[in-house]
Amino acid sequence: MQPRWLRWAVACLLSLSVVAQAQAQPASTPPADAPAHTLLVMGDSLSAGYGMAAAQGWVSLLQQQLDATTPGWRVVNASISGETSAGGASRIATEVVRLQPDVVIIALGANDGLRGLPLAEARRNLARMIGASQHVGARVLLVGMRMPPNLGPDYTAGFEQNYRDLAQLFDTALLPFLLEPVAEDRANFQDDNLHPTVEAQPAILDHVWPALQPLLR
């Protein structure tokens, strides 16, 4: 069995090869009046604004906050409801080569956990995403999640550890739990008890902002 560091190294090399292939394709030229900096968000329904208008989600609120406090940033929300880490890994090279982002927020893994997918697969996929982002010079904020206890203590602990290990290995910023400020109150969630309400979105943004702000240099 390969040691853990070797498996991650292989995953990163694979991601770089995919980026290199994407870079061989002609890239579109941004308009002259485009913002100076781009922030790419790769997430799932929690970042896509499930169950609400797109303008009400925390990512859209982030654009508003940047406009008010740090002008010159464009937020591109490439989040997809139901997305897994495998889906994100399959899209990341095209997105980072096309957009050349300065910062990438990676907020995936929740759907992997809810489906009980192997932790090693999620770790490899997230490693590919981080490696591809850093390959084009982007700074990365890795955003973690937590799983319910019914999945078992080993799985839930390993799920959280994935994010800590990857952040340390790749020297990225880490926000351990996206929903930390709203998770304890059932009133903050829609009827499915999975997706935060419109009213909870500002609290999520306020939680993300301190981890993100140092990357906006």
Catalytic residues: 45, 192, 195
- Coil, strand, or helix at residue 170? helix
Q: Which two tokens stand for residue 143?
A: 């955003």
How far apart CA 178 and CA 144 sit, in angstroms, is 6
How far apart CA 192 and CA 163 sit, in angstroms, is 26
Give the sheet arrangement for strand 73-77, strand by strand: 73-77, 37-43, 103-107, 139-143, 173-175
Please, what is the angle between helix 119-135 and helix 85-99, to 10°? Answer: 0
Please, what is the angle between helix 4-23 and helix 153-170, to 10°? Answer: 60
| Structural contact between residues 51 and 195, judged by C-beta atoms closer than 8 angstroms | yes
Pick from 140, 141, 134: nearest CA to 16: 134
